[in-house]
Chains A and B, each alone.
Chain A
Amino acid sequence: MKPKVAFFDFAGCEGDQLQIANLEEDILALLSQVEVVSFREVMKEHSDNYDIAFIEGSCTRLQDEDRLKQIRKNAKIVVAIGSCATIGGINSLKNYKDIDDVKKTVYGENAKLFDTYSARPIDAVIPVDAYVHGCPMTKEEFLSVVKSLLLGKKPEIPNYPVCVECKKNENVCAFERGQVCVGPVTRAGCNSCCVNEGTICWGCRGLIDNPNENSEKEVLIKNGLTVDDAISKFRLYYGWQERRK
């Protein structure tokens, strides 16, 4: 019997589920291996009987925790997909601000009608078995994680910095171009895609397990940059990870 899979989303942009649509013809191959039983974005049918749950988005409200706990109960394997789900992602920018101010900025005097708390990754609420990092996740990494899970293996996720891939791609280092980059402490696996396109690493895949912060500081000082410059960039995606440390 084909394993049953389900997709769920919380606070996020649905850009990771879009990557499933972007598999194009490979969707047909994937469908030959799994049975999709719930995927609100593309199907009307829904079932709570599934083996693997893929979850996109951060948890940003107390009321959403119950839904997550129910998914955990139903699924044998829970996979977090995309930065919002794996590390808290861009949503955690608001974690540095006073929540009441944030609500007032957007909803004015009606702020109390709307509930929110610090954005957090899925594993801050329920145990997660596998991660597909990235903002958005890449379809290649998604397929690779799915293959591992179907074969009963633990998916391999790089635990070295983006710089390793970036050097292999022969990019000119962003620091040498006078820009601040968080590649030295960010988990690889993206093939340094943003630097390849002429920009910097923004940190969307989260911190590696043992980031060498002193070495990052040295690079900053050597290039005439301050720790504040770097901290500001770290805060784009690392809002929850920084707090947890």
Chain B
Amino acid sequence: MTNKNLDINVHYVTRVEGHGNIHVNVKDGVIEKCEWAIPEAPRFFEAMVVGRQYTELHHITSRICGICSIGHTLASLKATEAAMGIKISEQDLKLRKIALHAENLQSHILHLGFLVLPDLLGVGSVFPLASSNPNEVKTVLRLHRHANVMSHLLCGRTTHPQRLIPGGFSKIPSMRELVALRQVLKDSVPDLLAVAELIKTLAPKLPDFTRETEFIGLTSPDEYALYDGALGSTDTGTVPVNDYLSYTNEYIVPISTAKRAKHNRASYMVGALARFNLNYDKLSPMAKQTAEMFGLKPVCHNPFMNNIAQLVEVVHSVEDSIKLIDELESAGLKKQPEYNLPSDKVKAGRGVGAVEVPRGILFHDYTYNNKGTCTQANCIIPTNQNHGNIELDMQTLLPQILDKSEKEIELALEMLVRAYDPCISCSTHYVKVHFK
């Protein structure tokens, strides 16, 4: 292998959200370059929201990402509410948690079923699977549809929610609708098990690769933290969310329009695996059983297992949503006015909102003047926080697989990128492989 020359150039890695390139040059067996570059057109949301009203910020920043629009909306609302001292009711809190589960389900199922499954079955996309594996494809479509029904019920739409507004909801579902949703979720358990069994038979195709890193995410003594919690690290413990800048430490690299982040080491990882590693104890019973099926235990340092952590979270989101609906039912769902507009209390101040979205921890940080106009904003997107870790994983993985064919190397690197489920238009924001 000492005289190997490689020049692989995957311009735009496929089956990821957004545009990213992998550049790898190997000359006489020596790796000269192994880079992860993001050429996506930047969109400048932090500048666009300056001068806009607090009632509009969640609407605008939702457009950062179509797939995690619910998460962006919630992080945005939490930042606005923190800045203005707006409190939401216990009932609205539970409804928002279900909305977040809906997005987690939709996004994880899309990723596992449409983007990862083709690699495990050795095809280029889900399209040929429609005829070769019709039952599996139909199961995935059904689960995806249920997640969208759920988003629609809580948010009024599946993408770019409407009902979520500062101080609560403009409109809420009826108890009858929630009970119907609970039944759909209960009925989806056999489909979930079928997907888990399918992935179990294919999981040996996930590379056995380990590189120690730091995992960062929300953590809470009360629950598997998604909507709320303190900022946790597997290396250094927890700090309040308001201290997020001491964790994210963003920096710019010229090869990328997306910023990067680092904390205790050269890079860190966020997302389902980070949450799993930090909060395993708080997973629902069936979610823990799913992890056991795959022998997944914290702390796991194999980034490819992020796919399995997503599957575990899918199960958790279903079980926890059922539990939340039970709680709403026993408390009795309180009605609210039509076209509800809960808050007109405008106050100057700064607020930070952090939410766990499908790809990891998301921060929105706004400053408002006393007219409720935004004067400064900062949004730190999960995929940005992962870019540095992806590149370091690539640089560690490449020497271990140099004896493989160019095609196999390219696939392994692409699978690595996909395991992170990157959302690049979000982080600016893209994948391309370039070997030499």
A12 interfacial by beta-carbon distance below 8 Å: yes
- A197–B162 touching, CB < 8 Å: yes
- Complex alpha-carbon distance, A16 and B67, angstroms: 10
A101 and B47 contacting across the interface, CB-CB below 8 Å = yes
**A90 & B63 in contact (Cβ 8 Å cutoff):** yes
Q: Name the residue on B nearest A105 (C-beta).
A: B47
A21-29, A125-133, A141-149, A152-160: which lies at the B interface?
A21-29
The CB with the most chain B CB atoms within 10 A, among A43, A60, A107, is that of: A43
Is B194 at the interface (CB under 8 A from chain A)?
no
Contact of B339 among A24, A27, A193, A198 (CB under 8 A): A198
A197 touches B148 (CB 8 A): no
Give Cα A31–Cα B165 distance, bound, in whole angstroms: 38
Stretch of A33-41, A69-77, A209-217, A220-228 at the chain-chain interface: A33-41
Q: Mark A94-108, 1 if CB is under 8 A from B, else 0.
A: 100100011101111
Q: Are B144 and A13 in contact (CB under 8 A)?
A: no
Partner of A114, one of B17, B65, B137, B257: B257
> B309 to nearest A CB, angstroms?
22
A188 to B66, CA, bound (A): 22
List chain B residues, Cβ under 8 A from A28: 130, 137, 141
Q: Is A19 at the interface (CB under 8 A from chain B)? A: yes
Instruction: Name the A residues within 8 Å of B401 (CB-CB).
Output: none
The answer for the CA separation of A240 and B125 in the assembled complex, in Å, is 36
**B59 touches A (CB below 8 Å):** yes
Contact of A42 with B by CB under 8 A: yes
Of residues 185 through 231 on chain B, the ones whose CB sits less than 8 Å from some CB of chain A are: none
A9 touches B425 (CB 8 A): yes
> B96 in the interface, Cβ–Cβ < 8 Å?
no
**Interface pair A42/B48, CB less than 8 Å apart:** no
Q: Which residue of B lies closest to A239 (CB)?
A: B48
**Cβ of B163 and Cβ of A198 under 8 Å apart?**
yes
Q: Does B136 have its Cβ within 8 Å of any Cβ on chain A?
A: no
Within the complex, what minimum Cβ distance (angstroms) separates B352 from chain A? Answer: 18
Contact partner of A116 (CB less than 8 A), chosen from B44, B56, B126, B338, is: B44
A42 touches B156 (CB 8 A): no
CB-defined contacts of B40 to chain A, threshold 8 Å? 11
Interchain CA distance A113-B257 in the complex, whole Å: 9
Selected contact of A41 from candidates B15, B50, B137, B170, CB within 8 Å: B15
Task: Let me know if A238 is at the binding interface, CB within 8 A.
Answer: no
A residues 1-57 in Cβ contact with B at 8 Å:
9-19, 21-22, 24-25, 27-28, 31, 36, 39-46, 57
Contact of B145 among A24, A41, A42, A46 (CB under 8 A): A24
A169 lies within 8 A of chain B by Cβ = no
Looking at the complex, which one of B43, B46, B56 makes contact with A11 (CB distance below 8 Å)? B43
The residue on A at minimum CB distance from B336 is A198
* Cβ-defined contact, B162 with A199, below 8 A: yes
Closest-by-CB residue of A relative to B138 is: A25
Q: Of B41, B63, B142, B145, which one neighbours A10 at CB under 8 angstroms?
A: B41
Please, how many angstroms separate the alpha-carbon atoms of A196 and B254 in the complex?
Answer: 45
A97 in contact with B69 given A114-B257, A197-B170, A198-B156 (CB within 8 Å): no
Known pairs A15-B160, A25-B141, A43-B15; A102 contacts B47 (CB<8 A): yes
In whole angstroms, how far apart are the Cα atoms of A42 and B12 in the complex? 12
Q: Which residues of B contact A91 (CB under 8 A)?
A: 43, 48
Binding site for B on A (CB under 8 A): 9-19, 21-22, 24-25, 27-28, 31, 36, 39-46, 57, 60-61, 64, 89-91, 93-94, 97, 101-103, 105-108, 110, 113-114, 116, 135-136, 172, 174, 177, 179, 193-194, 196-199, 202, 232, 236
> Could you give 13 example pairs across A and B, Cβ below 8 Å?
A15-B67, A17-B66, A21-B114, A25-B138, A42-B14, A42-B114, A89-B63, A93-B49, A172-B339, A197-B162, A198-B340, A199-B163, A236-B59
Q: 5 more A-B contacts (CB under 8 A) besides A42-B114, A194-B156, A199-B339?
A: A13-B67, A15-B63, A18-B110, A91-B48, A116-B41
Interchain residue pairs A-B with the least CB separation, the first 7: A15-B66, A198-B170, A43-B125, A197-B156, A198-B171, A44-B124, A197-B162
